[in-house]
Structure 1
Amino acid sequence: MSSKYGVLTLGDAMITLNPEETGPLRFVNRFERKVGGAELNFAIGCARLGLRSKWISRLGKDEFGKVIYNFARGEGVDMSDVAYVNGYPTSLNFKEIREDGSGKTFYYRYQSPILTLNPGDITEKMFEGIDIVHLTGVFLAIDPKNVNIAKRVMEIAKQKNIPVSFDPNIRLKLWTIEEARSVYYDIFPYVDILLTGLEEIRLIIGTDSKESLAEFAKVNAIDQLVIKDGKHGSKLYTKSEWHEKEAFPVIPVDTVGAGDGYDAGYIYGYLNGLSIDERLAFANGVGALVTTVAGDNEGLPYLDEVMPFIQNEAVIER
C-alpha cells in the first residue's frame, strides 16, 4: 500500500567499486560493483520505510547509468524525473581498504551527468504529492551552479508550504570548509529541519556548545536542529528546548550510509507525527541498523525491521 506521505530529494549517484582485497589500489585487481550517493541512499531509505520517495537526477547514457536507474527503480524510488544524458559518463568512486582497516575513497566524477541539470528543469509539477523536500551539501559541492538549483527547489517548496530538511554532509574532497560555510549560510534561511553531525556543525559554526547551537538555530530561524552523534545518540533543539536520546548498542560493521539512514528515519517520524522522543529513537534505530551491514545502502532497514528493534523485541538477525 502506498504511503500517504511523499518525499523529494535530488542529487548525483555513483557506481561504487569496493576492493575484494586489502592494500594500495595499485595492487588490487578485483572489485565488487555497488551503487552509492548520499541523496539516493536517503531516497532508498525512505522507500524502504514505506514513504513515497522521489529522486531527481541525471545519469550517463551508459551501462553504469542503467545499473543505477534499474537499482533505484527496483527499490521503489520514483524515477520519473531522472533522465539519461549523452556525453557525460556516470560517476564512479573506488574504495581503498588498508590492512589496518583504514581506507580512502577516490572519486571520478569529472563531467558528472548532474552538471546538465539546470534551475529551469525544476518544475512545480515535480512537487505534486510531496510533503517534504530533503537536500544535502554533497549536491551543492559538486558545482557552484547547483546552489541556484537548490534555491529554486526550496523557493517552490516555500511557495507550496512544503518544509525543507537539509544535511550539510560535508565533503572536503569536493570543496573547502570556507566554501562550504559560505554556501550553507546562504541555504539556512530556507531550512526548517537541519540534520547535521556533531563534528560537522563544529566545523560550520566553530563550536558545539548547547548555548551556541541554540543561538545558531534562533538566528537562522531553523525550527528543528538535529545533532547526530553516532554511538552517543542524537539530540534535537526546537522551541527553546533540548531533547536527547541515547544510541542503540550495536557492533558496527560499516558506518557508511548511517547518516543518510538516520535522516530517512527522522523524516519518517516527523511525517508520521511521532513525538520528539519517538522520532529521535526511531532515527537512532535506523542509523544503528545501517551500521550492522557493510555497504552504502545495503543496511537501510525496512519498517518491519525497525519497530521490533527499537522496542527491544528483536535480536539483530540480518
Structure 2
Amino acid sequence: MNNKQNSPNTLDEIKAISFFSTSLYHKNSVEEVLWDITKNVIQQLGFVDCVIYVFDKEKGVLHQKAAYGQKNPYEEVIYNQLEILLGNGIVGSVAKTKKPELIPNTKYDRRYIIDDEERSSEICIPIVMDDTLFGVIDSEHPEANFFNQKHLHLLTIIATLCAQKIKEIQTKTRKPFTRANHYFKKLESLMQFRKIYRNPCLTLSSTAEDLGISACYLSSMINNLLNKSFIDFINEYRIEDVKNNLHSEEFSGYTIVSVGLEAGFNSKSAFYSAFKKHTGLTPMAYKSQSVLRCRHS
C-alpha cells in the first residue's frame, strides 16, 4: 500500500467537510445526527461496520446509540446492544484518553472486546465537545490492516463535525415534550381508535410518516415522555389487546397464539417474548391466573 493512498489530502478533507456538513444541516435531534453519521461513514468511506457509543457520565459507561452494518438489522434497531465501562476495551480506552486509535490487528490487542462477531482491525475516534467526552465513533473490519491514516484523519474530521452539530442542537432553546404535544395526542388517537398496532408490519418509519414527522422525532418523543422504546410502546398496546381478548366471546374459538397474532404480533416467539417481558408470565399462565381470580371473586 503506497504512502499517497494512506496520507490524507486537502481534497479529501474538503469533500468530507462538504458532504457531512450538508447531510447534518437539517438534522434537528441528536438521534438523527448519530444515525446519519453511522450510515454515511459506511457509504462514503467504504466501511462494513460503524457504531457510535454515547458516554453516560453518571454511570461511567458507554452505550451503543446508533449503528450501521450487521449491528443494524432494520430500522433504528441495534443488535446485541453493548455497554462498555470507561477504560474497558479499545472503545473504553479511547473514551478515557480522548485520543483516537487505529488497531491494525485486534488479535494482538488484549483490550479487544468481541461484539456481534470477531473482526481483525478496528478504528476508534472520540467525540469531544469543549474538552468533554460525548462519545466514540467505532468501526471494525474483518480484514487485518484495513484501516489507514487517511481513515483516521477523515473520521477525526467527521467526529468534529458531529460534536459541533450536537452542541448546536443542545444549545438551542427547545420546548420540552409534554403529553399535550400535538403529535403525541395524534399518536395516542391512532393507537386507541384506529388500533394501528394490530398491523404486524407496523414500523417506526411508517408510524412517523402517518404523523408527518421524522422517525427520530417520534423515537425521541416516546423515549422522553414514556422512557421506553417505540417497540415497547407498541407491544404494550398489543399485550393489553391480548389480555382483553383472552376471555372475550368474540375470541372464544381462538388459540392463545392466534389471539396474539390478531393483536399485531408477527410470530409466536415475538408474542411470547414480549408478553413475558411486560407481564412476567407466559400467556397461558396469565390466562390460568385470570380464570382462577374470576372463580374466587
Bin of the TM-score, shorter chain as denominator length: under 0.3
- Give TM-score scaled by structure 2 length: 0.28
- Between Structure 1 and Structure 2, the one with more helix by share is 2
- Give TM-score scaled by structure 1 length: 0.27
- Between Structure 1 and Structure 2, the one with more strand by share is 1
Q: Which has the larger radius of gyration?
A: 2
